[in-house]
Amino acid sequence: MNEFAELVRDLRALPTAAPESLRERVLALGEPVPRRTLPQVSWRRSLVVLVPACAVALVSAAVVHGVLSSGTSPKPQALTSERGVAGEALAPTTRSPFVPPDANRHQDYEASMTVRVKDLDALTDRTNEAMQVARSYGGYVASVQQSTQAGEPGEAYLILRVPVGRVEEAMVRLSDLGTVLARQVSVVDLEQTLRQQRAQILRLKLFIARATEQLKRSLPADVRLRLQLQLQGARDDLARITRANGATLNQAALSHVALTLTTQKAATPVQKSSTGRFERAARDAGSFLAGTGAVGLFLLIVLSPLIAVACAAVVGLRAYRRREERRLLAA
Amino acid sequence: MRAVNAVTSSWPGLQVDRPTFASVAERELDAVHRYLVFLTGNRAVAEDLTGETFEKAFRSWPRFDPRRGTPRAWLCRIARSVALDHFRAEERRRRREERYARGAAEVVSEVLGPSALEAALAQLSPAEREVVALRVLLDLDGPTAARVLGISPTACSTRLSRALKRLEELIDDERVR
């Protein structure tokens, strides 16, 4: 403004002081009564405080929600679950976890079980114990395969035949050999098969008896020959069906237990319940935050047209007022 | 006896020395009046608007925050708002009069004064006069004056420079007459 120094001096010298009457009027206003009002904070400063505060409150609420909702422990696994997740030890049970056979019916009872043992020495010992268990219940060992190689997990595969009536006890004892990793039971009813076999045997026996009686009488040579052939066939069938019937009864009498003993460690470590609770809390907190975010997003989507209209109105009003000010002050 | 001219805010964490309204009114009355004289170009109107400005400031005083600007800048913003309301009302009145008294001679109100400088000032637009008042007479710095005017500091400087240049030209023209 140096180039306008003289002009500035002249302008400052202009008599523009307020008249005395105005001074008296203004000073007569006195001092406003002090009111306790809330401190004036700009919206930018408010945002700087409010946004982190809201974020902290939201996260705290999510954490509290997660902790509270994880406090209730999950329902225990069903005691009769037949197969555990790979690598996860099945929970010990107070009663037999095996489906018991029906003592009044003939059933084909098949069970398989995988049990983890401590090491190779334990594998041999437990294999022997399993064989003794089968024998102690009146059963026998149908086959044993054991493989132990240095540096590799050892495994023993046993097929045990145990009387059906005592298989449940045997399975409980076998499951005490180590940590049960998996178990499966299959029961097939054999009553229908046995009924059919008995009916066939009875029918064949009747036929054989009648045919034998007829052969004692005098018959034409060709009829006698045909009857003798039929009688022979019936005897063969009777022998076959009788054997099959014996096998079915044997099948119903002895259960088939496939036992695998292994030293292989679980694929995933067994999880403690406390870790599970922490994870549940984190998961619940995360889902709470996600839910809140979804609600916020929904509200934003629903309200966005109104917000856009409001913003446009504010911007338009400001522009209009500025234009009007320029027009008024340009006159 | 020494007058108490400042109090401290009672809000915890907001310990700000806050002047009393009376002391501010006494100190800034001339500045506000000067600004309004320049803005309106009319001493009588400026006097009325100054009174109105201080009444409005009196009512709004609890909302004044010394951390956000000087009392002078705050009063100038109020004065500007009051003046704009006056201009709007004047415009409406003029339109009404034009509608009902078409052809009647326009009453020219008494403006700044008879000197060449005052005559030249009267020919400037209110926008030009107010930037001169704020920057030259009231000694507001560029950013503060720009905030009062609602424009950028660059635009404020440009407007001031053009106003002073035009004022010089008009003064020269007045002297030639």
Q: pLDDT (tens digit, 9 = 90+) per residue, A215-242?
A: 888 888 888 899 899 999 999 999 999 9
Give the residue-averaged pLDDT of B145-162: 92
Q: Which of B10, B32, B132 sits opposite A11 (nearest CB)?
A: B132
- 3-state DSSP assignment of residue B109: coil
Give the residue-averaged pLDDT of B143-163: 92
Mean pLDDT score across all residues of chain A: 82
Q: Scan residues 36-65 of A and list those with Cβ closer than 8 Å to B.
A: 36-37, 39-40, 42
- Position A133: which residue type? V
Cβ distance of B50 and A30 shorter than 8 Å: no
The pLDDT of residue B3 is above 50: no
Does residue B149 contact residue B134 with C-beta atoms inside 8 Å? yes
C-alpha distances in angstroms, B19 versus A27, A34, B141? 15, 12, 21
Task: Report which secondary-structure segment, H or E, holds B6.
Answer: strand B6-8
- Position B25: which residue type? A
Distance from CA of A326 to the nearest CA of B (A): 8
Q: Give the predicted TM-score (pTM) of the model.
A: 0.51
Task: Please tell me which residue of chain A has the smallest CA distance to B37.
Answer: A16
Q: Does A327 touch chain B (CB under 8 A)?
A: no
Tokens representing A113 are 């079980």
Q: Scan residues 82-141 of B and list those with Cβ closer than 8 Å to A.
A: 84, 87-88, 91, 112-113, 117-118, 125-127, 130, 132, 135-137
Chain centroid to Cα B174, Å, comes to: 25
Does residue A331 contact residue B125 with C-beta atoms inside 8 Å? yes
Which residues are within 8 A (CB) of A106 and not within 5 positions of it... i.e. 6 or more apart? Answer: A189, A190, A191, A194, A248, A249, A252
Cβ distance of A29 and B21 shorter than 8 Å: yes
Euclidean distance between CA atoms A215 and A228, whole angstroms: 8
Q: Does A22 touch chain B (CB under 8 A)?
A: yes
At B113 the pLDDT is 65
Read off the pLDDT of residues A64-90 as tens digits, 9 standing for 90 and up: 888 877 665 444 333 333 444 444 444
Give the residue-averaged pLDDT of A179-200: 87
Q: Regarding predicted confidence, which is higher, A59 or B75?
A: B75
A45, HSE (Cβ side, Cα atoms, 13 Å): 5
Euclidean distance between CA atoms A91 and A76, whole angstroms: 9
Cβ distance of A32 and B61 shorter than 8 Å: yes
Q: Which of A14, A19, A331 sits opposite B47 (nearest CB)?
A: A19
C-alpha distances in angstroms, B102 versus B7, B88, B99, B105? 56, 20, 6, 9
Q: For the complex shown, is ipTM > 0.90?
A: no
Cβ distance of B150 and A322 shorter than 8 Å: yes
Euclidean distance between CA atoms A82 and A184, whole angstroms: 5
- Report the percentage of chain B scoring pLDDT > 70: 82
Chain B residues in contact with A42 by the CB 8 A cut-off are 68
Chain B residues in contact with A14 by the CB 8 A cut-off are 112-113, 117-118
At B2 the pLDDT is 40
Does residue A77 contact residue A91 with C-beta atoms inside 8 Å? yes
At A199 the pLDDT is 92
At B103 the pLDDT is 53
Q: Does A317 touch chain B (CB under 8 A)?
A: no
Cβ distance of B51 and A26 shorter than 8 Å: yes
Q: Which of B29, B118, B135 sits opposite A23 (nearest CB)?
A: B29
Tokens representing B48 are 């009325």
Mutate which: A325, A326, A327, vs B, most B CBs within 10 A: A325
Chain B residues in contact with A15 by the CB 8 A cut-off are 113
